[in-house]
Chain A
Amino acid sequence: MKVKQGSFLWYLYLDKIYCLLSLRNVKALMEYFHLLDAHRRNTLNDVLFFHFLRHVTNMKITHIKMIFDMLDWTAMGEIGFDQFYVLVCIVLSHQSHLEDQFMYRHSRPVFDLLDLKGELKIDGTDFEMYRFLFNIKKQELRELFHDFDITGDRLLNYKEFKLYTIFCTEKSIDRKKRRKQREEEREREKGKDKEKYYQHLKKLYSTGLNQRSRSLL
């Protein structure tokens, strides 16, 4: 799920800590929503929603349908600006690789979205359907239910889900630290290699000069 380069959403950005849009971005998004609202109902129906996502992202048709079903929690066949805002934030968090931070900061709304049946618990099959939104792999999802399903009912309640989001953010912070360390090490090695190369060049140059001077003498 990627935002197409040069599209309107491409120019929006999430705050990296709170994973929310700035006021100016929200105003721009509202303008965009009102332009898309061809029927002047302050809503987008399924047709407009589908073509919007097809135009702006590379999502599959089935995924777009599933997202609409998830957001249309009143089953009216149209979504309002609230749901549109949530969707844009999810898409931008995916784009900026802030999925873990987003789930941690907005665990309650995300939980409510994934709780499709309204039982205050997330089913494994439902989470499997929507894991693409938050870039969760199959193996990671299995481990999630294995490690955080404390009650053992193969369902995640809110507390278990919140624990998972905390664990995910800490893991992602560790990953970023390790990446930084690796990059620093690579740069140091590159720097060392460069120095060795320059020293080698100097030696060659100096030996070449010595040979010439001897030949002249």
Chain B
Amino acid sequence: MEENLSKAVPKHVHHHRRSSLHGDVRDLWTTATMSTGNVSVADVCEDFDEEGRTIGKSRRYSQTISILENLHLKPEEIQQQARLELELRRGRSLERDLAVEEEHDESATSLVKCSSESSASQSKQMPHQAYWTEQQNRLPLPLMELMENEVLDILSKALNSEHPHPSFHNTSWWLWQGLGLQDWSFRMCMSCQIPLALTNIPRDPPKLKVERLGTGRLNGSLHLSSGMTDSLCGVLLYSKGREL
């Protein structure tokens, strides 16, 4: 049995999206109601059915798939699902009290019409929406701290290991690169005489392709922004022809 290792990559989660998702998760917790008394075993425990027997992997797999599908939803959609579920629960409780069933059904159906059919089925399969969303999207705090500290150490070491050229501030950046170009709109690599792609950003120096030298050494060059940013993550590194 072979696993497609190289293709096992989920979609990227950007930082700004993560931060907004955390705020939505907190909102979900404040508005969610815990009606655990009326929840069946099968809904809560994914490994057991109504009679307490263990279920096969297929059901667990389908539930993990539904969790995975939720991961790809936008925060607004997750919030909509949570609201939909709350509305549906309220509708169920009022049915038992024989009260305003039709009104809540109407409100529930109106919400269902607004959201897609798949989200409605997912919300029914996913009780405790806020809990699952948090579990799948939030990292445990101590590990995050460790991660951030480690990355800071690595980036600071990487930055300190690279020293800019002593004559960088005096000479023209292009000349020092060895490209010998004066015009921003046209670039040519002097070593191989190949015209490079045009750029429409007159101020920022264009990014250079990394060339693999015949000796097996790497010549990685990165552009430097005109102003250094405050955070370490914003600082760009420069290296030329050094051997690691």
Spell out A's residues near B (CB within 8 Å): 7-8, 11, 18-20, 23-24, 26-28, 30-32, 34-36, 38-39, 42, 45-48, 50-52, 54-56, 61, 64-65, 68-69, 75-78, 81-82, 85-86, 89, 105-109
Decide if B147 touches A31 in the complex (CB within 8 Å). Answer: yes
Decide if B10 touches A26 in the complex (CB within 8 Å). Answer: yes
B98 at the interface (CB under 8 A from A): no
How far, in Å, is B210 (CB) from chain A's closest CB? 3
How far, in Å, is A196 (CB) from chain B's closest CB? 46
B73 at the interface (CB under 8 A from A): no
How far, in Å, is B71 (CB) from chain A's closest CB? 8
Decide if A38 touches B235 in the complex (CB within 8 Å). Answer: yes
Decide if A85 touches B8 in the complex (CB within 8 Å). Answer: yes
B218 at the interface (CB under 8 A from A): yes
CA distance A26 to B8 in the complex (A): 9
- Interface stretch among B35-43, B155-163, B178-186, B198-206? B155-163
Contact flags (1/0) for B218-244 with A, using CB distance below 8 Å? 111010000000001111110100001
Out of A39, A46, A89, which one reaches B244, CB within 8 Å?
A46
Q: Which bracket fits the contact residues of B?
A: 35 or more
CA distance A28 to B244 in the complex (A): 28
B1 at the interface (CB under 8 A from A): yes
CA distance A121 to B5 in the complex (A): 20
How far, in Å, is B222 (CB) from chain A's closest CB? 7
Decide if A27 touches B244 in the complex (CB within 8 Å). Answer: no
How far, in Å, is A41 (CB) from chain B's closest CB? 9
B148 at the interface (CB under 8 A from A): yes
CA distance A69 to B162 in the complex (A): 21
**Other contacts beyond A18-B3, A30-B13, A46-B210: 5, CB < 8 A:** A8-B143, A20-B8, A23-B64, A47-B220, A51-B157
Which residue on A lies nearest to B231, using beta carbons?
A38
Decide if A48 touches B10 in the complex (CB within 8 Å). Answer: no
CA distance A92 to B162 in the complex (A): 29
Decide if B10 touches A75 in the complex (CB within 8 Å). Answer: no
How far, in Å, is A92 (CB) from chain B's closest CB? 13
